[in-house]
Structure 1
Amino acid sequence: MTTAPLPELPEMPTARPAGRPFAPPEELAAVRPLARIPLADGSPGWLVTGFAAARAVTSDPRFSNRMELQRLVLPRAGMPDRMPPAPPGMFLQTDPPEHTRYRRLLAGRFTVRRMRLLTEGVERTVAEHLDAMERAGGTADLVAAYAQPIPALVICEILGVPTEDHDRFQENTRAFNDPAATAEEMGRAMQELAGYLRDLVNAKRAAPTDDILSELTDSDLTEEELVNVATLLLGAGLDTTANMIALGTYALLRHPDQLAVMRDDPEAVDGGVEELMRYLSIAHTGQRAALEDVELEGHMVKEGDIVALSMAAANRDPERFPDPDRLDLRREAPGHIGFGHGVHQCLGQQLARVEMRAAFPALLRRFPDLRLAVPEEEVPLRSDSDIYGVDRLPVAWGPEGAGR
């Protein structure tokens, strides 16, 4: 174990480099693979920025994801420094064996084979929204017209939301994810959504249909657990995929050579989606609490210490990905941690892949002259969110000058 001092940062960096909206904060690369940072309460914490170290922490059961053990890395208005344990069913912020119980119930319902069976329906939803964009004219906000509704309708299908409730469901989810919403508006949207999901759970118990929520009503989960699991699936599968579609499109527009690869080479689509996940790392940070003393990169992390994880910096580690700051859809370097790693790796990653593999090439083939409708500096980035992305992405197609 080394006694060499680690680099220290005054706080967790969040600012993206000027003119490089897809790059992690520059300070992170300078302190790879491990540094010290103060937490929001002033106590000392750890920061992991190296790929190998990030995989080590996220796969080691001695580092806990339990909500009540965490402390804020950055101050957040209205958020207490300490949180209570996760409610029943909100299993992402629990550890095995509690986490394992829920994960085992759901894992078989999100397999590669089962998610690929959704491909035809996803492609149909994509085509319908492209048709609507085309009918509406030569400009659109890609977030509202395309990136958000596609995963929302897909999750409707998975949860078994009746067709007649789709509009209501999408309205609630839009309010839930609206960055301009006040705390009161978000609270109302969450209450409305929870109430709707509770009614849906009871309806599925009474008359099951062919969907995941109906299948889960036949398990030993309580009503509260079922509602919270459904809420979790919604939150994990909607905002993340919507931001990947929107931010991924923005990245491709900034890299026309890579846009052409995604548009014109069907064999490059699968690898291209993985490269976008690595390059963008929209779920850019995470954290764990040490359950005991653990040696990490030659340094002793003490029991109770908080370890912050920069997934964005880890996915740009040159020891793992040569020339990591270059977007290369033909890169042969699987193993990114854009979906996380270990027991908490994203449950819905196969669904997200199906949606992105359909959404990117179809959009670019339908509108081969797609372009930003505003100057780049006017694209509103979600730099203060746990999920990086864009709040709006005004785009144009057709005759040059449209939308400007």
Structure 2
Amino acid sequence: PNGRPIWLVTRHEDVRAVLTHPRISANPDNEGFPNVGETMGVPKQEQIPGWFVGLDSPEHDRFRKVLIPEFTVRRVRELRPAIERTVDERIDAMLAGGNTADLVNDFALPVPSLVISALLGVPSADRDFFESRTRTLVAIRTSTDKERAEATRQLLRYINRLIVLKKKWRGKELISRLLSTGKLWH
């Protein structure tokens, strides 16, 4: 979208080679890196410093080490009831909608976002807000750069407020566990 060339790597061995090559970077601050924020309309000063997906080793490895225990078989198994409930609710909503349903809009888009919001500890009352903002972020064909930038800002503000809230009232979800162990700082 910004006129810079990109590469699409699809074979497994090529993907592994790219992901492990020391000259290939995920850091958007590196020279020549396509500025995703620029295409989304998010000014550089408002982008997230140290965003996990934009880090290279060894910083990326440090964050990954903190998060890996949160995605063990046991932890994911603990999420199963919430995932099943979310899936059931979306299927029920599609069935209640009559003879037709849009599988992408009614199921494939909201389910991952709703599961992630449960994982993070987003209160039930806020999950529609969270889902609608993440839907805007992934809808690159139907949302504008300005809309995606605003959705990003709103989500970041919301997550910052959620972290402050979780500092006071801890639960069992990811943000609270990371705060309790000192692995999340704010």
TM range (shorter): 0.7 to 0.9
Letter in 2 for 1:171: S
TM norm structure 2: 0.78
Please tell me whether the aligned partners of residues 136 and 148 of structure 2 are also in contact (alpha carbons under 8 angstroms): yes
Tell me which of 17, 40, 47 is aligned to 2:4. Answer: 40
Normalized per residue, the structure richer in helix is 2
Alpha-carbon distance, 1:153 to partner: 1.6
Match of 1:122 in 2: 83
Are 2:123 and 1:162 equivalent residues in the alignment? yes
RMSD: 3.1
- Percent identity, please: 38
Tell me which of 57, 71, 84 is aligned to 2:32. Answer: 71
Cα deviation digits, residues 210-242 of structure 1 (max 9, x gap): 10011122325432xxxxxxxxxxxxxxxxxxx
Cα deviation digits, residues 261-297 of structure 1 (max 9, x gap): xxxxxxxxxxxxxxxxxxxxxxxxxxxxxxxxxxxxx
TM norm structure 1: 0.39
Are 2:163 and 1:201 equivalent residues in the alignment? yes
Normalized per residue, the structure richer in strand is 1
Alpha-carbon distance, 1:120 to partner: 3.0
Match of 2:132 in 1: 171
The 5 A counterparts of 1:155-304 are: 155-179=116-140, 180-218=142-180, 219-223=182-186
Unmatched tracts of structure 2, length 5 or more: none
Match of 1:109 in 2: 70
Are 2:105 and 1:141 equivalent residues in the alignment? no
Alpha-carbon distance, 1:209 to partner: 0.8
Looking at structure 2, the residues matched to 152 and 46 of structure 1 have their Cα atoms a distance apart, in angstroms, of 27
Looking at structure 2, the residues matched to 158 and 91 of structure 1 have their Cα atoms a distance apart, in angstroms, of 17
Please tell me whether the aligned partners of residues 158 and 211 of structure 1 are also in contact (alpha carbons under 8 angstroms): yes
Please tell me whether the aligned partners of residues 159 and 213 of structure 1 are also in contact (alpha carbons under 8 angstroms): yes
Unmatched tracts of structure 1, length 5 or more: 1-38, 224-404
Match of 1:91 in 2: 52
Looking at structure 2, the residues matched to 60 and 97 of structure 1 have their Cα atoms a distance apart, in angstroms, of 13
Alpha-carbon distance, 1:208 to partner: 0.7
Looking at structure 2, the residues matched to 67 and 216 of structure 1 have their Cα atoms a distance apart, in angstroms, of 26
Looking at structure 2, the residues matched to 106 and 96 of structure 1 have their Cα atoms a distance apart, in angstroms, of 15
The 5 A counterparts of 1:385-400 are: none
Structure whose CA Rg is larger? 1
Looking at structure 1, the residues matched to 143 and 8 of structure 2 have their Cα atoms a distance apart, in angstroms, of 31
The 5 A counterparts of 1:358-373 are: none
Looking at structure 2, the residues matched to 121 and 164 of structure 1 have their Cα atoms a distance apart, in angstroms, of 15
Alpha-carbon distance, 1:62 to partner: 5.0
Alpha-carbon distance, 1:133 to partner: 1.1
Alpha-carbon distance, 1:115 to partner: 1.1
The 5 A counterparts of 1:2-21 are: none
Q: What is the DSSP-based 3-state SS (H/G/I as helix, E as strand, rest coil) of the residue aligned with 1:140? A: coil
Q: 1:131 to 1:191 in 2, by over 3 A?
A: same
Please tell me whether the aligned partners of residues 119 and 174 of structure 2 are also in contact (alpha carbons under 8 angstroms): yes
Alpha-carbon distance, 1:72 to partner: 5.5
Please tell me whether the aligned partners of residues 109 and 212 of structure 1 are also in contact (alpha carbons under 8 angstroms): yes
Alpha-carbon distance, 1:49 to partner: 5.9
Q: What is the DSSP-based 3-state SS (H/G/I as helix, E as strand, rest coil) of the residue aligned with 1:195? A: helix
Q: 1:52 to 1:70 in 2, by over 3 A?
A: farther
Ranked by relative contact order (alpha carbons within 8 Å, sequence separation 6 or more), the top structure is 1
Letter in 1 for 2:158: Y
